[in-house]
Amino acid sequence: MEINALQDFAPLFKQNHTPERATQIRAQRAELISKVLSGQEVSLAEMGIKEFVLESGRVSGKTQHDEFAAVADIIQGKGDMWYCRSEDGDIRSSIFTSMQQSIAAMGYSLSNKRGADFRVSYSPFEITHNYTGNKIQFFAINKDINRTKGKYPPSGRLKRVMVEEANEVDEGKYIDGLITTAVRFLDESSKVVFRLNPPQTRQDWSVEYFAKRVRQGAQHIYTTWEQLAKLGMLNPATIAEIIKMRDNDFDFYRYWYLGEIVNLTGLVFPHFDRAKHIVTIDQMRIVNQITQFIIAGDAANKNDPTCFGLLGLLRDGRLVLLDAMYYDPRRKGAQDDIQLARMVCDWYDGVVLKYPDLQHRQSSFVGTVDNANWNLLQMLQQSRALGWLKWYPATNKHILKDTNRVRGLLRDDLLLFYDAPHNQVGEVIREIEGYVFDEKTNEIKKGQDDHGIDMLKYGTFLYADTTLRF
């Protein structure tokens, strides 16, 4: 298949070396081994392995182009690939899904039926090319420097190692751990690709770490959404959304879409406007326009508040926070998981009394709770009040990505709040109005109340998940 691609990414598709140069590199292997044994540092470039650092903002084409190049490579010769990111919980919904989409976009079939080009395994996460037997293996690399130590490509050779959002790893040593294992299976035709989004500060470990890799021979590639737009690779709706952020929130646009490290200061949600986003009792007839409901919760049982909310999806695509429960143990005393579960169930029973029609619309509901409180989720799943609900643990969490989703909904006037004396939606609004960036660290300030905000993050994640079926 011919790929409409940016020329910037051409090196990802090309062979690393001419046949003559590859022969020279193989001849130098004994010399390189001697250097390593003597304690000298040998870069991937010296070994003939091509290394790339793809650094840009969102919608820049780096993931799609790298995946296209990987597909073109995996169907030829013998050799496997490792496709990694920071956390296990993010793999299925991100790199595993996107690679399948890229394979399909290139005209290949994926099925476990006979005759397909590729077959897919979910345990472990693998995609296999049926004609060569080559595998793409997916796994996480964070938290334990030894977690990749036992990894082995079935063919004994690695064509490619790809790390998505490599800056999300806690420290560079986890990248080092991956490469230390991978280098045993790499050769002069192999590629190692790191894809980066901008960190929030220049003090982040990833800034100097990947700059050093570039100094040692990695090729740096930077692209933007504008290049893709000029090639006709973005649809009009995506372009309109990007331009809207550029015009209304330029600093965040620079960070999000251009990949620049900027000084984010002031309010995290500057677009919140009581006049536009708070629904009055006179406007509550919109309840009749709700097609689906999301119950979302951020739970704690010691020193932090617990917040649950009922979000309604209107026919026009807007979300309204109809009701909320906000329990602050700092004011009322700590509760254990059993007591919290009872409180949540009692809250929902009270919501049904306010909106009696809800009990006849259970098929339109879905729920999500922070996966950090697994015990509470289990209790809710077994409860009389909420046991009928399809629950999804909130596992795919990214602070800036989730914050930007809520920020964008407010900017576009798609998130509304029904603040009334008989609910605690006002507590969520209080958090939003006071939530700020730390001017010293350029990150969201620590120690702020953000439990209603986290509830909105989890709920809006389900709202944004187009694969979800209520």
Q: What is the CATH number of the domain that holds 366?
A: 3.30.420.280
C-alpha dihedral (87, 389, 339, 302), degrees to nearest 10: 20
pTM equals 0.74
Is residue 176 in a domain?
A: yes
Domain presence at residue 162: yes
Q: Are residues 165 and 33 in the same domain?
A: yes
pLDDT score, position 443: 82
Q: State how many domains the chain has.
A: 2
Regarding whether 303 and 210 lie in a shared domain, the answer is no
For residue 248, being part of any structural domain is answered with: no
Looking at the structure, do residues 193 and 286 belong to the same domain, yes or no? Answer: no
Number of residues in the chain: 470
Distance between start and end Cα atoms, the chain: 37
* Same domain? 80 vs 167: yes
Question: Are 282 and 215 in a shared domain?
Answer: no
What's the rounded Cα separation, in Å, for the pair 10 and 340?
55
DSSP at 57: -
pLDDT value at position 131? 95
Residues ≥6 apart with Cβ < 8 Å to 158: 79, 80, 81, 82, 182, 185, 186, 190
Same domain, 212 and 306: no
Give, in order, the Cα–Cα distances in Å from 73 to each of 76, 158, 344: 6, 11, 52
Is residue 386 included in any domain, yes or no?
yes
234: in domain: no
Mention every residue, 6+ apart, whose C-beta is less than 8 A from residue 334: 301, 302, 303
Give CA separation, 296 vs 207, 266, 371, 396, 423, in Å: 35, 27, 12, 14, 15
Query: Position 4: which residue type?
Result: N
Domain-located, residue 2: no
Q: Where in the sequence is the domain holding 44, given as residue range(s)? A: 7-223
Q: Is 241 among the domain residues? A: no
Give the pLDDT of residue 2.
46
Short-list 291, 464, 458, 452, CA closest to 367: 458
* CATH number (domain holding residue 146): 3.40.50.300
Query: How far apart are the C-alpha atoms of 63 and 166, rounded to whole Å?
Result: 12
Q: Is the residue at 266 inside a domain?
A: no
The alpha carbon torsion through 294, 300, 303, 304 (nearest 10 deg) reads -20
Nearest to 326 by CA among 461, 426, 224: 426
Which amino acid, residue 29?
R
215 shares a domain with 118: yes
* Whether 384 and 278 share a structural domain: yes
Strand bridging mode 278-279 / 415-418: parallel
Reading the chain (470 residues) residue by residue, the pLDDT tens digits are 445 568 999 999 999 999 898 888 888 877 877 776 677 777 888 888 999 999 999 999 999 999 999 999 999 999 999 999 998 888 988 999 999 999 999 999 999 888 999 999 999 999 999 999 999 999 999 989 999 988 999 999 999 999 999 999 999 999 999 999 999 999 999 999 999 998 877 788 999 999 999 999 999 999 999 999 998 899 999 999 999 999 988 888 999 999 998 877 788 999 999 999 998 876 667 777 888 999 999 987 677 899 999 999 998 899 999 999 999 988 888 888 888 899 999 999 999 888 887 777 777 889 999 877 788 889 999 998 899 888 988 877 788 889 989 999 999 999 999 998 889 999 999 999 999 988 777 788 888 999 999 999 999 998 887 555 54
The answer to whether residues 177 and 281 belong to one domain is no
